[in-house]
Each structure stands twice: as structure tokens, then as C-alpha cells.
Structure 1
């Protein structure tokens, strides 16, 4: 088989893939013998009828075949059966996701090391401001939401320059699960997603502001409702957090302001199972759909105390598994492209059993990011860790290709996140003394 050719089961095929070979003779099918692009649903259905597997040329395909197959292979099987839906609901669910037109093409204008240093001070200040705001809401029933707007502009400025910096800072604080910390991290994921979609800067500010303020209403609910709902009545009471949040935001934003518009619908779901209005598909405002996926992802990797956190790979696989149901398919795939399979700051195990932390993700090589190895293949902590760019096809000490074999929880090494951060970006200036990858690891 050619190096760029991948065997793919017909159920995993998608529009944009290039079919170079079938598992049956071409003459027994209606397809052109020289190979072809899959361009419409009818061709997918025909391939399912004639073949069990086909061979896709990854180089010629117009979609990222490697990432899609990775997600398909790691996504757990869906449990139970989808609810019976009427024809109108199915039609609304299956509408192609409407996107806002791309307004901007953002490029990285500042290196990771420099932006992390600049963003670190800002990030700490933001956490302090949000902590104070949420504490005032809980204790006094009052919140000055103008702070959230100022914070949003700062965060947008950093994300536009280099989205990896705030992503890194989010990951090193991932075990903190208070409302204000979850709000800040959700805002980072939302901004990275919106940046990837090329939305206007004002849209980025509004998405960020909405996500920073989204849990305000939860401050007014009994704490136990945040952790567990045992009855339908408890679930309905929990859902009132939307109304409570809007009651506060409407004090400073006009009713028709985009922030309120987002907050009124970010908990809606593509199949109509969300709340408060059971909206379906494109009936959910676009920015609310962007915001909803981002907040949902944060809840998967940093849930409320008492729930098990997923690794980034598990969370992305889960999102991929519910695409077309909870969230529109095209938006889920765009979110995965924006965040990556292994987000910046993720802890991973390499194929030679070394443990590394993800530093940066090249847009065209999401499965092969740049990493810093902190524990070698003998489980020995490295004083001067090695930088490895997996996109350049490195090999291990045995000459075997090196790749990421597993995403790990943050507790997988006794080097804590703050220590890793200090060594990489602190006064120790770890990055300037790192041993770059040369031959083998």
C-alpha cells in the first residue's frame, strides 16, 4: 500500500476524502476506475452498498484523514438508543450548520515563551478579579460585571497573538474547579474556537464576556444542585441558573445585546434536549453554539467535584461521538481543529514510554505537536528536558519512529504543573537551556 494510503471502513468515510482503491473490482461498481473525490451523500451511500472498506489517499484528500480516523477509533460506542424523533425534528437536526462569515484571518504574531510570560501576570490578575466578582455575588448578591468586559478585551488580545499561551495556563491549573476558574477556562476555549473560525474581534469579546458571566446565576442556587440532581424537580431548579444570570446581565446590557443573546441559548443542544427553550439545530444562535461547545468541553475535563475528569483526548473523543446529536457535526469538527487532540499543556506518554508535556500544535500536524520530554524512557526525570518536534518524524533510541501513544491525567507524574511551568517559563528560564532534539530520544 502507498505510504499515504489508508484503509478505511465505509462507515467512517466522509465527504472530501479521495478514494484510490476499493475492496472489490472497479468494474463491478459505478465509480470511475482512476479514483475520485467523495463529494456528496449519495456517493457515501453507494460506497456502503458496494464495499466494506476502501483505500483513501491521505495526501490527495481535502480533509484531515488521520485525525478523523484517530477520533473514530478512540470514540466509545454510544450507549442505549437515540430517542425517537419526528420528521421535522430530524430535518432541523440534519440541516448543515450555518457559520458566520469569516471576518479575520488570525496569525501567530508572538512566540510562545514571550506570550506566556506576558499572559501569566494577566491570567493571575484575571483569576483574582473573577474570584472577587463571584464571591460578591455569592455573599452579597451583587456583581460589578464591567470587570468582565475589561478582562475579555485583555484575553482577546493574548489569544489573537498566540492562542497557545492561555491554553497552557489553563492546563497547569486544571485541577481547580471553582465556578470562577471554570468560567475563565471556558472563556479561553471559546476564544481559541472563535479565533479559529475567523470571527470579528467584537464577537470574540462578546463570547468571552458571556462565558465569564455564564455561571453567575449558579451562585444563587443551593450548592448541592451543582454537584448532583436526583430528581426532575431538582434538574428544573438547576436550569433556572440561565434566568438568574440574565436577570443580572440585563442590568448593564440591553435586552437585545449579543451577550444576553448568547447567555439565553448556550445550554441548548442540537437535538432539542437542551434548555431553556428546547431549540434545535440552526435555531440556536450561532455564537451560542460556539459558546455551548466550549463550556461543555471545560465541564468534561474539569467537572464539578465528585465527577471524574476526562483527559483531553477522552473529551475530544466524546465530543466526536455526540456530533450531530448534542452539537452540530460541522461545529464539533471545527472545534477539534481549533483545540487539537492534544491541547497545549497536555501531559502525554510517547511510544518509548517517555512522558512529555505538549508545548505547541502546528495547525497541519495536530497529532504530532512539539513536546518537552520531562521523564525519559527509563522513568528518570530530566534536569534539562528535550524539545522534540514530532512533526519532523523523530525516532527513539532504538531507531523506531516516535509518536504520542497516550494522553495522561495531570497526576501521572510527581512533577506538579506549577513546577513544570516554572522550569519552562519562570526565572529559571528552562526554555533557554533546554536540550533540543537532534538524533534520537
Structure 2
């Protein structure tokens, strides 16, 4: 059946319609990917907030008043209203078979967020402690020895508390310090994504710690596999079956320790199972997979997409989000995927982005309630290395950001209709030393903040450019 699009006013959107196109780029809205089946009044409110009109595909969803209705719909008093229950069955048949309970989301549970500048030092200590304890535990488990599980739990608790206070701090540190592709680094990144998601939906801290521990330990059984098998990119069916045994090995090793809680082992046991039954080792599906294991599976997959072993550089975040979004109702539960994407945002901390002015920058901090308008460090690629011309914009305050760019000589900032992120970029295509920029930023954030609050040293109200990257950053970053 061919696509048939109809343009309607945003005020006329109803539940059951499939929105195929907006009157603005999808990247300027909270929706993670092109194409949206409207399922709730909340989605209608968001569409009306961001759009004046939209295009709907009547072959995939409900038709507007007076328009023809497609197969699967019936006319009700000639108005073309959809039988919503039939669409839900068609779109979520797997969930229906598995009796999956929608995830409970409690927003605004963790409302007190400290600034990045205040949390970086605490996060760095927590990261070093966690990495040390995890590395030690992994070595001891691999040798069949007892390990200090309580110390690992304490390190995880420090990480959870740091993420609750300021998710961006840990994200920065992991992006900068754990750049190699070793298994334990992947596990730490996946644990971070899982905990960030758990924080976003208001999960109790105790459950967060279980989730974090399970995600950290999920690959521990790989120590029993040959290195050649682990590193091989393409495995034969026989090799794949042998590889998949790492889950069973991990469960056995953790059970032998006699100190790891059953709920943690459950995450390890089921994190490779998939919503449609295509996972391993048992091939169970839907609601039979424990919730924490479902979350660990999503976090693990997202990190694998963002940091693929097959490539020297990760894909852009929006591409990773798009790939993950396409797995909903297949590999993963629909609402879990949507909420996970909302929790990390389209532009996670450390993402290289291009503004509507054409300028390139790095996302340095996010606003929990406004993830499309983060703080961005914008720089001039031709001058940055020589003069350190960087400026921090808070895109949530669009007009102030415009003024800052104009002051810096970017005249186009005054003429674009909307100052915003136009797209994210793959780092490999740009000569930008993000670790150098961001590490200097984090190390000097407190000093920069003090300088900004007290005014510049020479008494001028505007930023001045000094020679050298460090002095340039001290003057040009605005918090």
C-alpha cells in the first residue's frame, strides 16, 4: 500500500494518527526519530507545542475528519475514527502475548541537581574507586577466588549517588578516560547508561545499585572464553554457540562466590534475552525477562552501537538513537526504549554538534527538562588551536546566546530564524581534540565560574581573548 500523506493543523491531531512529517526538523522536537504513532494526550500536547501543522500517513494510522480511511479502520458517523484497540494489537502483539506491564515512570523524584562544576571532583573519585574495585573483583573472580563484594557495592553506591546528583559529570569522565574497547570499560559505560535511565524514571536507589552491579558483572563469564573467539568479528554458528556460553559461565562464577545477591545474578543471567524471544541463553521473551535485565540489555546495546568494536570511531548519537528506536517492539519493549532515549537525550554530554549558524561545538551539560537546548562550547576551528577562542552558550536562553555569538564576531547569529542545534556530527570527520577541550573545561570550571562572577581582571564587561588555549578557555567560557 502506498504512502498517503495529509496535511492537518496540529490542533486536529487525535490519538491513533501516524505523524509522518512535521513543519520543522524532527531534531528540534523531543521526538527521537521521524515517524510517530500518537498513543497518548501527552504526545498530542507536545506536538501542538512544537508545531503549527503536521503531515499524517493515513495508511498507518487514523484519518482526519472527511478523509478516506485505510484498511484496519472504520468510519464512525462518517468521521473516520480509528478502532484503537485493533491498532494496539497490531503494533504490540508481542507485548500482548507476554503480558508485559508498562514501565512505571516517576519523574521529578530526583529534583536536586548540583552543577557540573561542583560534582566533577566527587565523580572523578567515585570513578577511580569503582574502576579499581571492579578490576580487582574481575581478576579474583576469574581465578576462582573470593572477592570483597561489599567494597564493590560501596563503590557502586558512590557512583549511583554521583549520577543522582549530576549525571553529566560521570558521562564526561567515562567519555574521556575510558576510551579503549576492553570489556570492563564497556561494562562501566553500559552501567552508567542503565543508572542514568533508572534515575530518569525515578527508580529507588536500592534497585539502581542492583541494576548497576548486574550490568557491571554481566560479561564476567567471558574470562573463560578464548581470546581469539572474543576478538573474532564474524563467528560461525558453532563459534556463536560457544561464545554465548559466557552468560552461563558468569552465572556459575557469581553463584560460587556466595555473596552476590540473586537479583544481581538475575541481571547477568537474562541481559542477553530479547523481547521477541531471539536472545540467549534460554530464548525467553517479553515480560518473562526481569525488568532490570531488560534495562541492562538496552543499555548494553546502546553502548555497543555508540562504541562499536568494528569501527575506530563511534557513530553519531542520533544515529545510535535511530538504530535503537527501530528495535522497539522487536528486540526491546517499546516504552522502555522510548523512555531510555528520553533519558540520554538526542545529544548526550560530549557530543559534537553543528548549530543552525554553521558553527561547531561540544555539548558540555544538559538541562533535565530541556534536552534539546543544552549548554554548548562553541569554537572557531581555524582559530581555536592558536588563540583558544571558545565560548559557552546556554541554548535554553536563545537571545543571550545570540548576543554572545554576535559579540564574538559571528554575525550570522543575528539572522538565523532559530538558534539551535541543527545536527550532531561524527567526531572522526573533524579535527577537534574534544578530550583536551573538555578536560581543561572540567578542571577549571570552578575557577572559570569564580572569574565570571567577579568580572574580568581588567574590569571589562565582555570576554577578552588571551593567547593560549587555557587562558582563552578561562576568559571565554560563561556559566
Task: Please report the TM-score for the alignment, with normalisation by the length of structure 2.
Answer: 0.72
SS at match of 1:419: helix
Alignment equivalent of 1:210, drawn from 210, 214, 217: 214
Give the 3 Å change call, closer, same or farther, for CA 386–244 of structure 1 in structure 2: same
Give the 3 Å change call, closer, same or farther, for CA 148–437 of structure 1 in structure 2: closer
Task: Indicate yes or no: 2:19 matched with 1:8.
Answer: yes
Alignment equivalent of 1:120, drawn from 100, 115, 124: 124
Partner of 2:476: 435
Alignment equivalent of 2:224, drawn from 208, 220, 245: 220
Partner of 1:420: 437
- Whole-Å separation in 2 of the counterparts to 1:365 and 1:110: 16
- Does the 8 Å CA contact 2:19/2:38 hold for their aligned counterparts? no
Partner of 1:54: none
The equivalences for 1:301-316 within 5 A come to 301-304=306-309, 309-316=314-321
Give the 3 Å change call, closer, same or farther, for CA 31–364 of structure 1 in structure 2: farther
SS at match of 2:219: helix
- Does the 8 Å CA contact 1:133/1:144 hold for their aligned counterparts? yes
Partner of 2:343: 338
Task: Indicate yes or no: 2:209 matched with 1:198.
Answer: no
Alignment equivalent of 1:397, drawn from 411, 417, 430: 411
Give the 3 Å change call, closer, same or farther, for CA 297–232 of structure 1 in structure 2: same
Partner of 1:62: none
Alignment equivalent of 1:150, drawn from 129, 150, 154: 154
SS at match of 2:308: coil
SS at match of 1:372: strand
The equivalences for 1:25-40 within 5 A come to 26-27=65-66, 40=84
Task: Indicate yes or no: 2:210 matched with 1:169.
Answer: no
- Whole-Å separation in 2 of the counterparts to 1:151 and 1:361: 25
- Whole-Å separation in 2 of the counterparts to 1:255 and 1:117: 30
Partner of 2:456: none
The equivalences for 1:173-322 within 5 A come to 173=177, 175-228=179-232, 229-253=234-258, 257-304=262-309, 309-322=314-327
- Whole-Å separation in 1 of the counterparts to 2:430 and 2:131: 26
- Whole-Å separation in 2 of the counterparts to 1:309 and 1:115: 27
Task: Indicate yes or no: 2:351 matched with 1:349.
Answer: no
* Aligned-residue offset at 1:253: 4.6
SS at match of 1:243: helix
* Aligned-residue offset at 1:43: 8.1
Give the 3 Å change call, closer, same or farther, for CA 379–321 of structure 1 in structure 2: farther
Task: Please report the TM-score for the alignment, with normalisation by the length of structure 1.
Answer: 0.77
SS at match of 1:356: strand
Bigger Rg, structure 1 or 2: 2
Q: Could you give the per-residue CA deviations for residues 373-431 of structure 1, whole angstroms, max 9, x where no partner exists?
A: 1x227664562521112233344622212222232234454443431233211158574
- Whole-Å separation in 1 of the counterparts to 2:370 and 2:441: 23
* Aligned-residue offset at 1:32: 10
- Whole-Å separation in 1 of the counterparts to 2:199 and 2:285: 25
- Whole-Å separation in 2 of the counterparts to 1:311 and 1:284: 30
Q: Could you give the per-residue CA deviations for residues 73-92 of structure 1, whole angstroms, max 9, x where no partner exists?
A: xxxxxxxxxxxxxx986742
Gaps of at least 5 residues in structure 1 are: 46-86
- Does the 8 Å CA contact 1:358/1:369 hold for their aligned counterparts? yes
SS at match of 1:26: coil
- Whole-Å separation in 2 of the counterparts to 1:118 and 1:335: 25
- Whole-Å separation in 1 of the counterparts to 2:122 and 2:302: 26
* Aligned-residue offset at 1:434: 4.9
* Aligned-residue offset at 1:182: 1.1
Note the aligned Cα RMSD (angstroms): 3.8
* Aligned-residue offset at 1:258: 0.8
- Does the 8 Å CA contact 1:354/1:378 hold for their aligned counterparts? no
Give the 3 Å change call, closer, same or farther, for CA 430–215 of structure 1 in structure 2: farther
SS at match of 1:296: helix
Gaps of at least 5 residues in structure 2 are: 1-7, 22-34, 57-62, 69-74, 403-409, 450-473
- Whole-Å separation in 1 of the counterparts to 2:76 and 2:380: 50
SS at match of 2:376: strand
